[in-house]
């Protein structure tokens, strides 16, 4: 089919590229001319494993193209996906101005029947607003359908998640739109869940809020484990093997971050308030997440006492492994707190250092993770990169002024670290 994706961020670029990979003809639209030029040249503005190769392959095959002309994308495609940002506002609600702007642009360019698909994460009832906007601004008064098709992509695993999804949710009103959406997704061989539009919009917020709840739950359990002398990893294994619970998202750490969980959690709380329900459970999830970082910083200050003029090495800046995304990153938050206390930092991340520089201008960036501990009073693990498990522990111990590690991601075994002579502080163990 002929498809247009408006927005080439994490969601839009991965979606458009994977649609092209299964044989659809895809135009990706973005209003950033520099980004479009980069994509046309085979580069990509984000790090996502496997994505650049797929972009280059499908551009070369003629199935994937890029433009900053929305009207061109609307004219040449049957289905237009909206994948623009929906940033949070100070009160926790979502800024829908990008969605409204794109809906107006689509309406202005429409001269024949189109299916307009909301791929962005939006509050319930947004589909109704998009439909109203298109009716208002479409001068040709042609027929159209609005569809909600939320994404469930994990940064760092997005290509695999889209090519082999566990389910595809489609919120839709008309049989014509159902048939088109099924045709688009047939190559992906996954269950297609057909719902009304409002339910589809709620599914995304409900899913992400539940996953955030699981993370905060295991972090609360980690606090109990520390007080009781138990091991949170063993507890997580014991409860995670129950098929009703599952092991995923039961890894204790310094809290969740990124562009989805914090934003979607706040948005769902606000959405619930607007329909008359006070979602106290989700507010507690937020509180536990904030407390988790407070407790970790306290571990550092309890051990090092005064942080002023202390030199601390930090491994990890991205909010999670396999991405260069530093938006709402717990690692960045941690670094900013340490700097505020007067510490100086030597930091490393396999992919995120360039993007971190705008948020952390006054730290020393180190290209080799094994060189980070040099002259430091302690070493901190802040992101769960697999590479960090290969850290040369003997070299790190020699380079530090004191063999102290604060492991915010539980990458190492406490007994082994103690045997090697480390003062080792982790989460819930």
Instruction: Confirm if 2 and 24 have CB atoms less than 8 A apart.
Output: yes
As a whole-number percent, the residues of the chain with pLDDT over 90 amount to 99
pLDDT at 406: 98
**In the predicted model, is pLDDT for residue 309 greater than 90?**
yes
Structure tokens at 330: 């717990």
**In the predicted model, is pLDDT for residue 338 greater than 90?**
yes
Question: Distance of CA 408 to CAs 53, 240, 421, Å?
Answer: 33, 21, 19
At 392-413, the pLDDT tens digits run 999 999 999 999 999 999 999 9
Structure tokens at 326: 């530093």
Instruction: Confirm if 401 and 384 have CB atoms less than 8 A apart.
Output: no
Instruction: Give the residue-averaged pLDDT of 139-150.
Output: 96
Instruction: Give the residue-averaged pLDDT of 311-319.
Output: 98
Task: Look up residue 340 and give its DSSP letter.
Answer: H
Whole-model pTM: value is 0.92
Q: Across the beta sheet with 64-67, what order do the strands follow?
A: 64-67, 25-29, 2-6, 79-82, 114-118, 144-148, 168-171, 192-195
The DSSP H or E segment spanning 375 is none
Q: Which long-range contacts (CB under 8 A, 24 or more apart) does 86-94 make?
A: 86/120, 86/121, 86/122, 86/263, 87/263, 88/262, 88/263, 88/266, 88/267, 91/270, 92/266, 92/267, 92/269, 92/270, 93/123, 93/266, 93/267, 93/270, 94/121, 94/122, 94/123, 94/263, 94/267, 94/270
Other beta carbons within 10 Å of 144: 21
Structure tokens at 155: 């940064």
Q: Which residues are catalytic?
A: 260
Residues pairing with 378 in the sheet: 312
pLDDT at 42: 85
Task: Tell me which residue of 16, 29, 20, 102 sits closest to 66, measured CA to CA.
Answer: 29
Instruction: Give the residue-averaged pLDDT of 29-45.
Output: 93
pLDDT at 55: 96
Residues pairing with 114 in the sheet: 144
Name the pLDDT band for 162 (thresholds 50, 70, 90): very high
**In the predicted model, is pLDDT for residue 259 greater than 90?**
no
Structure tokens at 62: 């003629």
pLDDT at 429: 96
């Amino acid at each position: 089919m002929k498809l247009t994706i408006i927005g080439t961020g994490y969601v839009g670029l991965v979606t458009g590229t994977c649609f092209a990979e299964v044989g659809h003809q895809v135009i990706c639209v973005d209003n950033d001319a520099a980004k479009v030029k980069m994509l046309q040249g085979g580069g990509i503005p984000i790090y996502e494993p496997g994505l650049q190769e797929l972009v280059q392959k499908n551009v070369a095959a003629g199935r994937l193209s890029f433009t900053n002309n929305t009207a061109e994308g609307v004219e040449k495609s049957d289905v237009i996906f909206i994948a623009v940002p929906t940033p949070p506002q100070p009160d926790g609600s979502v800024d829908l101005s990008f969605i409204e702007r794109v809906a107006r642009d689509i309406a202005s360019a429409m001269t024949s029947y189109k299916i307009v698909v909301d791929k962005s994460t939006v509050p319930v009832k947004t589909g109704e607003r998009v439909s109203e906007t298109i009716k208002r601004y479409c001068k040709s008064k042609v027929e159209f359908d609005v569809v909600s098709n939320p994404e469930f992509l994990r940064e760092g695993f997005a290509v695999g998640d889209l090519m082999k999804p566990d389910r595809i949710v489609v919120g839709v009103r008309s049989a014509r739109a159902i048939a088109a959406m099924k045709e688009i997704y047939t190559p992906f061989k996954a269950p297609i869940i057909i719902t009304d539009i409002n339910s589809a919009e709620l599914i995304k917020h409900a899913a992400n809020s539940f996953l955030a709840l699981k993370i905060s739950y295991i972090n609360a359990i980690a606090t109990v484990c520390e007080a009781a002398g138990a091991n949170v990893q063993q507890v997580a294994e014991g409860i995670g093997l129950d098929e009703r619970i599952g092991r995923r998202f039961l890894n204790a750490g310094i809290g969740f971050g990124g562009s989805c969980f914090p934003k979607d959690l706040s948005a769902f709380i606000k959405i619930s308030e607007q329909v008359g329900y006070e979602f106290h459970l989700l507010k507690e999830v937020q509180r536990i997440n904030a407390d988790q970082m407070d407790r970790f910083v306290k571990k550092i200050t309890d051990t090092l006492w005064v942080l002023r003029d202390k030199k601390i090495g930090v491994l990890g800046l991205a909010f999670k492994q396999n991405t260069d995304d530093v938006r709402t990153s717990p690692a960045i938050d941690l670094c900013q707190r340490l700097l505020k206390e007067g510490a100086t930092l030597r930091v490393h991340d396999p992919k995120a250092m360039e993007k971190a520089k705008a948020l952390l201008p006054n730290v020393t960036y180190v290209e080799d993770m094994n060189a980070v501990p040099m002259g430091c009073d302690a070493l901190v693990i802040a992101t769960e990169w697999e590479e960090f498990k290969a850290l040369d522990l003997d070299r790190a111990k020699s380079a530090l002024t004191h063999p102290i590690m604060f492991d915010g991601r539980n990458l190492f075994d406490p007994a082994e670290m103690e045997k090697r002579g480390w003062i080792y502080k982790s989460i819930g163990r």
